[in-house]
Amino acid sequence: MTASRELLEHALKGVEADYSEIRLEEAEASNIRYRGQEVEEAGISSSLGGNVRALVKGGWGFVSFNDLPQPHELREKVDLAVRQARLAGREESRLAPTPTVVESLREKPKPNPLTIPLAEKKALLDQYKEIIMSTPGITTSVIAYGDGWKRTVFASSQGSYVEQARSDVGLQVLAVARDGGEVQQASLSVGSRGDFLQIAHLHPQVREISRRAVELLSAPRVKGGEYTVVLDPVLAGVFVHEAFGHLSESDFLYENPGLQEIMVLGKRFGERILNIVDDATLPGLRGSYKYDDEGVPTRKNYLIREGILVGRLHSRETAGKMGESPSGNARSASYRFPPIVRMSNTFIEPDTANLDDLLEGIEEGIYARNWHGGTTSMEMFTFSAGEAFMIRNGKIAEPIRPVVLTGNVFATLGLIDGIARDLDMNQGGGCGKGDQYPLPVSNGSPHIRIRKCLVGGR
């Protein structure tokens, strides 16, 4: 991709709009997907394209294109976006101010996953598939691998110009066991910022999830009810991302008066030990970046600090409409989409306890690990744990069938009364929102204790 800064600045010069921007992108990716013994997908793809956004009287125009236009063509696309914005604009444009930035960033992962032949990647997945399918009791599996490299160039009518590049690797493995009409599953999800070695030596973990899926067929079910629950870093990280993080994304919040009445800055939602952060500045994580897709520098954003709601995630538009500061969280999955408010690396900060401290004093409770999935509806959540154990007299006891945790996120935050110091970040999977999936993110937490949580069982 060759597009000079001068070319982009020329295309934006003299545009009759309150604001305009151009984003160009080139990308390469490979994907392999198995279901049982069969390969469902295997291939390498590349793309080159971009988009233009223009803002006029509060209305946006958006034009995307699947090539690299000539200079006169690029200006025509800018003018088209302006015409669209004029049709939509009905009010004052409000974009929060942000500094003008000019920077070219490069990232060189070692080893670059795109230099590894597709056949070599498939050979590794074949090994994982054979481990799963040779396990007695396993009936099928799903293995999904994806990697990619992306370079973006951003220029705005306010003078910002940013070049960024990044790589990404992800692997999801699911083992499914069956005994008659009884079905159980166990999974593994890992990822990295372009380091293939992070997924290249997972044979013991794949063997473990295969064994666990079969063992769950004979595990007892817990009696449903309210329990003190201890969550591991993976499940707690998913909880903070799905149940609370999405509610902190202000493009959803500013259009929802009912939620605004609940999520008032300065309101207490938890004990002083509770700190929730979204931070794209952390090095080496899948959700990390220096500038978002509006050219806004990222920063560490406290959402809850010492139990009190102190912040939320913003684009320039949501920050302008709500009278707050941009947080650097406007992101798009590709050039085919406009940026929307998205999380980056979202986590609960560690405290001083250890796991034994959290277990102490629990006569009968639940220890829940990993996750299979879940749903959220406003402030209500339902999550399925990947593994579960009884807690008896302060000790982790017998395994049980995976449980379902249900509750109100704001009430549940107030019931967190113990946070360990063993912060761990989950790099597997990706985040979906507004048809934009998957976006690389990470989430995490230490072990946490919730003193009362509704647990579904028999």
Q: What confidence score (pLDDT) does residue 212 get?
A: 96
Residue at 351: amino acid letter: D
pLDDT tens digits, 76-111 = 999 999 999 999 999 999 999 999 999 999 776 566
pLDDT tens digits, 188-232 = 999 999 999 999 999 999 999 999 999 999 999 999 999 999 999
- Residue 58: both structure tokens together: 């509060």
Q: What confidence score (pLDDT) does residue 286 get?
A: 95
Q: For residues 410 and 28, give the distance between their C-alpha atoms in angstroms, rounded to a whole number.
A: 41
Q: 10-residue block means of pLDDT along the chain (458 residues)?
A: 84 97 97 96 96 98 95 95 97 96 82 88 97 97 96 97 95 96 94 92 97 96 96 97 96 90 97 98 96 98 98 98 97 97 98 98 97 87 95 97 96 98 93 92 98 86
- How far are the Cα atoms of 31, 125, 129, 227, 228 from residue 42, in angstroms, in the given order? 6, 11, 15, 45, 45
Q: Is the bond preceding 399 in cis, omega lying within 30 degrees of 0?
A: no
Contact 28, 114 (CB under 8 A): yes
- Residue 444: both structure tokens together: 């995490």
CATH code of the region 5-218: 3.30.2290.10
Q: What confidence score (pLDDT) does residue 1 get?
A: 63
Task: Name 406's Cβ contacts closer than 8 Å, sequence gap at least 6.
Answer: 380, 381, 382, 383, 453, 454, 455, 456
Q: What confidence score (pLDDT) does residue 373 get?
A: 80
- Residue 147: both structure tokens together: 């990697």
Contact 374, 428 (CB under 8 A): no
194: left (phi over 0), alpha (psi -120 to 50) or beta: left
- The full set of domain ranges for the chain reads 5-218, 225-456
